[in-house]
Amino acid sequence: MTTPAPAPDTVGTEPAHPQTPAPTRSRRPRRSKLPLWLILPAVGTLLVGLAYPVTWQIINSFKEYGLAQQFGQPAEFVGLQNYIALLTDSVFWTIAIRSVVFMALTALITMAIGILMALLMKAVPTWSRIVLQVAMLLAWSMPIVAQMTVANWLIDDRNGVVNYALSLIPGVDMVGHNWLVEPLSFFGVAMTIIVWASVPFVAFSVYAGLTQVSEEVLEAAQLDGAGRAQTLRLIIMPIIRPVLVILLLLQLIWDLRVFAQIQLLQDFGAGGERYDLLGTYIYGLGIGQSQFGMASAAAMVVMVLTIAVSWGYVRSMLKEDQES
């Protein structure tokens, strides 16, 4: 390649003054419409599949839209009434707080186990690391519905292997115990399944980060007399911190929006608001009771919450785009 000059219209050559074209770009129109045509199908898809529904949702969260409106009555604007009704409803608060606690606990436990697994993978002989990696890949690739169906079979009250194994402990008889009746136990089961399914992603990502910590740095630390714990805390952790932050954000986002797992557990076990998190609560309001105005307002609350949590991730992605 003899000419280092960038191609017309390519990265980083946006002219400051379109009126004065640089001589090298004269071969083609300065402001090509081509990129706009290229993104048109994608933009169209997003407009139809997301922008339109979200706009509808925002508008309807300010409207009275219940069963009567479903049957033809015009939906009237009621201002903030849906939001006020929601935010003064103790049921909503109970479920919102429960969701946030569930999110935080699940994400933190997943991170803790994932990080420990990654450190373990770094420390053990190769063969045992590969055994662990294959096992985790299997767990990771299970479809959610299959996960939940298998979990339900594992904890089956009569023939489930979990109750059988626990009953082997002297003095414990768990046969016939239903894990999905007591709400705390219900969410414990849900959390266990979600942690089981999310740890592989965290472990693999942290492990990938750990392999990028250079040996020289670790040797230097050792020469300076740092112990294992000190090396971990003062050298390794700061280096992989960016990965950990992003992973934690992703876990928080994903754990806030768990819907399928909870819905499926309710389908298998018991339903009702005692077993609800925000996702299933909105679903119940909207699809179950046709309270579309209220459901839209609740959905907006979740959306704002998610965007608040994920803002850091969005910023890091934008940074990545600018660097490339």
Which one among 174, 246, 269, 270 touches other proteins, defined by CB under 8 A? 246
**Is position 41 an interface residue for other proteins (rule: CB under 8 A)?**
yes
Chain positions 278 to 317 lying near other proteins, rule: CB under 8 A, are 278-279, 282-283, 286-287, 292, 295-296, 299-300, 302-303, 306-307, 310, 313-314, 316-317
**Is position 22 an interface residue for other proteins (rule: CB under 8 A)?**
no
CB distance 155 to 162 below 8 Å: yes
**What's at 25, amino acid-wise?**
R
Which one among 188, 267, 273, 274 touches other proteins, defined by CB under 8 A? 267
**Is position 43 an interface residue for other proteins (rule: CB under 8 A)?**
yes
Instruction: Please say which residue, 108 or 139, places its beta carbon nearer to other proteins.
Output: 139
Chain positions 61 to 100 lying near other proteins, rule: CB under 8 A, are none
Q: How far is the CB of 31 from other proteins (least distance, A)?
A: 8
**Is position 234 an interface residue for other proteins (rule: CB under 8 A)?**
no
| Residues whose CB is less than 8 angstroms from the CB of residue 67 and which lie 6 or more positions away in sequence, other chains included | 289, 290, 291
How far apart are the C-alpha atoms of 229 and 7, rounded to whole Å? 52
Stretch that binds other proteins, among 4-12, 75-83, 85-93, 103-111 (CB under 8 A): 4-12
Which one among 67, 80, 91, 146 touches other proteins, defined by CB under 8 A? 146
Which one among 22, 24, 49, 273 touches other proteins, defined by CB under 8 A? 49
Which one among 21, 22, 26, 52 touches other proteins, defined by CB under 8 A? 52
Which one among 16, 20, 42, 88 touches other proteins, defined by CB under 8 A? 42
Stretch that binds other proteins, among 9-17, 74-82, 102-110, 182-190 (CB under 8 A): 9-17
| Residues whose CB is less than 8 angstroms from the CB of residue 286 and which lie 6 or more positions away in sequence, other chains included | 292, 295, 296, 299
Chain positions 247 to 266 lying near other proteins, rule: CB under 8 A, are 247, 250, 253, 256-257, 259-260, 263-264
